[in-house]
Structure formats: C-alpha cells, structure tokens
Structure 1
Amino acid sequence: MIPVSQFLGICVDIAFLLLSISFIVIVYRIVTGPTLPDRILALDMLIAVAIGFIATFGVHSGFYLYVDIAIALGLIGFLSTVAFARFVLTRGSTEDIPSALDEGRDQ
C-alpha cells in the first residue's frame, strides 16, 4: 500500500499533465477558431484551466489560499464571458436601445 502523501503527489502530477495538455488544445482553438464565438468559448475554457492550475498548485504547495484566488478568478472569468457574449449579440454597436424601438417613437 502506498502512503497517502505519495498518492496525492502522483495525483497532482497527473492533474498538471492533463491541465497542460488541455491548455495546449485550447490555445490551438483560440488561434485557429473559425468564428468569434469559438474564440470566446475557448477563452472561457482557458480561464477554467487557469483555475485548475491555481487550485492544483495550492494543493501541491499546501498553501490553500490559492483556492480563494481561483474562486475570485472564476468570478472575473464569468463576468468577462458575459461581456463578450453581449458584444457578440450587439456586434460592436454602441447603441443601448435597439433601432426597432427607435422606429416606433418616430411615428
């Protein structure tokens, strides 16, 4: 039977390996993404992988304050994804009110 600390070290190494592979795949999708929504989704996944890296490093180092940092990054990542989604919906338009509502006021 292997000791718990050695088993945890093996699991952390495997997690770092899997996160590194997913990071490479996500960067490839960001560079070659055919559309803007594909790139935005890849950026959102990149934030999720960064959260995984931070949390895994926190477990590896034994300093669990990194988990709080990962939670804060998750909140920031969520807000940035919402902002990007709003940009895609408006396609960069600077108007807050859609033009269809403005046409009804002219009559």
Structure 2
Amino acid sequence: MSRITENTAFQCEHCGAGVAAVTNGSFRNHCPFCLYSKHLDNEPGDRLSTCRGIMRPIQIDYSGKKGYQIIHECNKCGKKQRNKAAVNTIQEDDILRFMKALNQY
C-alpha cells in the first residue's frame, strides 16, 4: 500500500466523527477530535498489525525535532506508540483540550 492511499478520510471508530485527510503533506492515523487511533502498525507505516484494537491517547509529549506527539496505548494488546500531532492542516488535532484534561497545560 502506498503512503498516498493511506492519507484518506475515515470515520473514527471511537467517537464516530468524520475525519478528513490532512492537507499539510503528512499522514493522519488518529481522530483530531478525541485523538483515538487504531492499532494498524507494528512499525510506523507498515500496516502489518493483526491486533486492530482501538488505541486511546494517554499522554502528550514534545520533541524539538518532531513537535507535539500523542502517545497512544492499545486497549486490546497494550502496545504504546507515538504519533505526531497534526498541525497546519484541515481539522488540526485538539491537543490543548486533551492537555487540559490531563492537567499538563
């Protein structure tokens, strides 16, 4: 599967929101509203995971190289993964609301 076909709109399996493909040249793998994701990768972008569990956002981290990252944990198998927050695009990630809920901001 090419990265171009991965950058498509989808419906969030957690909150049901319609999620648009990003427009900033990157790729989206999580909902910009509830920040939930789906466990699709063993390694970033490979789409080889057979788990397919829902991944809940558990923390926000900041890296000088990659910017804000959402840390997800799979509700099914427990795997943790980092994902870059979507910024400068249609439907930017609502990380401020999430940070306030975690008392990180």
TM-score by length of 2: 0.25
Q: Which structure: greater helix fraction?
A: 1
Q: Which has the higher strand share?
A: 2
Instruction: Give the greater-gyration-radius structure (CA).
Output: 1
